[in-house]
């Protein structure tokens, strides 16, 4: 048990720190949170290019594809050090974390040569087109139809919850190519040009007021058969390659919330006296603290496995399911403390610049995006504990015959 870097880690960290000190953008006072669009796309691209030139973009990718040729632990250390600077938002995350690795794993040689390097440099941005109105948790229920026409496919349908669709150059699109076979067998993956006029993006207005996602419509979109990623009917298998990383990427923060609540409680009275002395609040703070700290040290365990060159254990799967509920509970308690004032969401009036009012409107989305609380518990139960899948009514039925309720 040792929190210190190994000599190799320390050397790498020193190298990264020195590079960041010289090259990282200066503070502007502007803050981009993870799920927001970057305030300036130009800044984001410039920063990505700079990292790529120095071998710090896509650290674990091979050098021949524009990566850094490094190890996972190096990527973790770079991320920690980069987080100390106010770098531009990261519109590349979905492409570099999910879409482009899928192309690298499954795609043909020409696609790899065409797409991987420009994506690593931030020249081209990707989005992931999987979820549909008919299937959020049930991704394999996708109905967007691709019909073969000679050497081309014609695509019609709708995707939803697509982050960054409006500024993306390319998209990884999951389609239904054969509705006469069971759902998992009749799907095919393509890459598409997001700038094609047959593709229309409409922002989704969330309950929080923000618009972090889009609906994307396809009307007679024609793609070449060479844009296929993997075999015809192999779309589900390909999508699993993509989704493997998603649930690790979303959530995991929520540390330090107890500090903010303390800060709030210092200026607030309850009927029993100062809020900081309220026994019920103190007990809650202890509960939140052990959850947030437990997550932090769970990440350290994951990092340790990477550092030792081992595959991390399944414990990393608990991150989002804990942090999202934690965020919602803390925010609700904070509003209760603020009492009647809690309803005010004007950052100029509400305590702590309305951070708890912002959190309470964002928390429902956190509990759903990237795998709902319920789906994540299914995943832990099935993949970690080895419990059986729920009974499936749709498994051996032709897709077109599956009940849809409408």
Beta carbons of 259 and 328 less than 8 angstroms apart: no
Q: Is 82 in the site for another protein (CB under 8 A)?
A: no
CB of 152 to another protein, least distance (A): 43
Among residues 63, 226, 300, 401, the one that binds another protein under rule CB under 8 A: 300
Q: Is 14 in the site for another protein (CB under 8 A)?
A: no
Q: Is 283 in the site for another protein (CB under 8 A)?
A: yes
Q: Give the pairing of strands 213-224 and 269-270.
A: unpaired
CB < 8 Å & 24+ apart, contacts of 357-364? 357/331, 358/208, 359/327, 359/328, 359/330, 359/331, 359/334, 360/328, 360/331, 360/332, 360/335, 361/207, 361/208, 361/209, 362/208, 362/210, 362/327, 363/324, 363/327, 363/328, 363/331, 364/207, 364/328
Among residues 83, 110, 207, 391, the one that binds another protein under rule CB under 8 A: 391
Contact range with another protein by CB under 8 A, out of 57-65, 101-109, 139-147, 301-309:
301-309
Q: Is 158 in the site for another protein (CB under 8 A)?
A: no
Q: Is 287 in the site for another protein (CB under 8 A)?
A: yes
Location of structure tokens 């618009």: 211
Q: Is 149 in the site for another protein (CB under 8 A)?
A: no
140-153 as b/e, with b when 16 or more CB fall inside 10 Å? Answer: bbbbbebeeeeeeb
CB of 377 to another protein, least distance (A): 4
SS3 229: coil
CB of 300 to another protein, least distance (A): 4
Can you read off the two tokens belonging to residue 253? 């923060």
Among residues 60, 270, 304, 345, the one that binds another protein under rule CB under 8 A: 304
Beta carbons of 66 and 48 less than 8 angstroms apart: no
Among residues 154, 381, 397, 402, the one that binds another protein under rule CB under 8 A: 381
In the complex with another protein, the residue whose CB is nearer, 230 or 370, is 370
Q: Is 400 in the site for another protein (CB under 8 A)?
A: no
Nearest to 123 by CA among 91, 101, 162: 91
What is the Cα 332 distance to its own chain's centre?
24
In the complex with another protein, the residue whose CB is nearer, 240 or 384, is 384
Contact range with another protein by CB under 8 A, out of 88-96, 223-231, 236-244, 286-294:
286-294
Can you read off the two tokens belonging to residue 268? 């607030």
Other CB atoms within 10 A of residue 335 CB: 18
- Site residues for another protein, 189-248, by CB under 8 A, read none
Nearest to 44 by CA among 21, 28, 22: 28
Q: Is 74 in the site for another protein (CB under 8 A)?
A: no
Among residues 322, 327, 330, 335, the one that binds another protein under rule CB under 8 A: 322
Give the binding-site size for another protein (rule: CB under 8 A): 53
Among residues 385, 396, 405, 406, the one that binds another protein under rule CB under 8 A: 385
Contact range with another protein by CB under 8 A, out of 182-190, 192-200, 220-228, 304-312:
304-312
Q: Is 311 in the site for another protein (CB under 8 A)?
A: no
Q: Is 387 in the site for another protein (CB under 8 A)?
A: yes
| DSSP letter assigned to residue 198 | T
Strand partners, 122: none
Can you read off the two tokens belonging to residue 36? 């927001």
- Footprint on this chain of another protein (rule: CB under 8 A): 1-6, 9, 73, 258-259, 262, 276, 279, 282-283, 285-287, 289-291, 293-298, 300-301, 303-305, 307-308, 315, 318, 321-322, 374, 376-378, 380-382, 384-391
């Amino acid at each position: 048990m040792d929190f210190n870097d190994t000599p190799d880690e320390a050397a790498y960290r020193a190298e990264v720190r020195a590079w960041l000190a010289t090259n990282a953008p200066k503070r502007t006072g502007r803050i981009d949170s993870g799920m927001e669009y970057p305030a300036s796309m130009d800044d984001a691209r410039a920063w990505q290019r700079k990292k790529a030139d120095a071998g710090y973009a896509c650290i674990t990718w091979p050098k021949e594809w524009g990566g850094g040729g490094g190890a996972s632990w190096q990527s973790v250390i770079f991320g920690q050090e980069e987080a100390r600077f106010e770098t531009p938002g990261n519109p590349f995350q979905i492409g570099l974390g999910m879409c482009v690795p899928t192309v690298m794993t499954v795609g043909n040689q020409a696609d790899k040569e065409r797409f991987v390097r420009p994506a690593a440099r931030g020249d081209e941005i990707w989005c992931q087109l999987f979820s549909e109105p008919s299937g959020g948790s049930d991704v394999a229920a996708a109905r967007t139809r691709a019909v073969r026409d000679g050497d081309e496919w014609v695509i019609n349908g709708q995707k939803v919850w697509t982050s960054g669709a409006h500024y993306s150059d390319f998209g990884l699109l999951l389609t239904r190519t054969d509705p006469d076979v069971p759902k998992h067998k009749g799907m095919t993956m393509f890459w598409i040009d997001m700038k094609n006029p047959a593709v229309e993006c409409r922002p989704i207005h969330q309950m929080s007021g923000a618009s972090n996602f889009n609906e994307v419509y396809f009307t007679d979109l024609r793609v070449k058969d060479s844009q296929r990623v993997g075999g015809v009917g192999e779309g589900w298998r390909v999508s699993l390659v993509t989704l493997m990383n998603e649930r690790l990427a979303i959530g995991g923060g929520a540390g330090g919330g107890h500090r903010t609540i303390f800060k709030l409680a210092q200026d607030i009275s309850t009927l029993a006296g100062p809020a900081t002395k309220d026994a019920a609040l103190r007990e809650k703070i202890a509960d939140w603290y052990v959850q947030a700290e437990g997550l932090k040290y769970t990440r350290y365990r994951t990092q340790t496995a990477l550092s030792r060159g081992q595959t991390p254990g399944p414990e990393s799967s608990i991150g989002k399911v804990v942090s999202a509920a934690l965020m919602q509970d803390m925010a609700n308690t904070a509003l209760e403390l603020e009492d009647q004032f809690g309803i005010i969401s004007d950052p100029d009036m509400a305590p702590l610049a309305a951070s708890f009012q912002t959190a309470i409107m964002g928390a429902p989305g956190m509990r759903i995006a990237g795998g709902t609380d319920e789906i994540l518990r299914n995943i832990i139960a099935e993949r970690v504990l080895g419990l059986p899948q729920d009974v499936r009514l749709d498994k051996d039925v032709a897709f077109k015959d599956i009940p849809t309720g409408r």
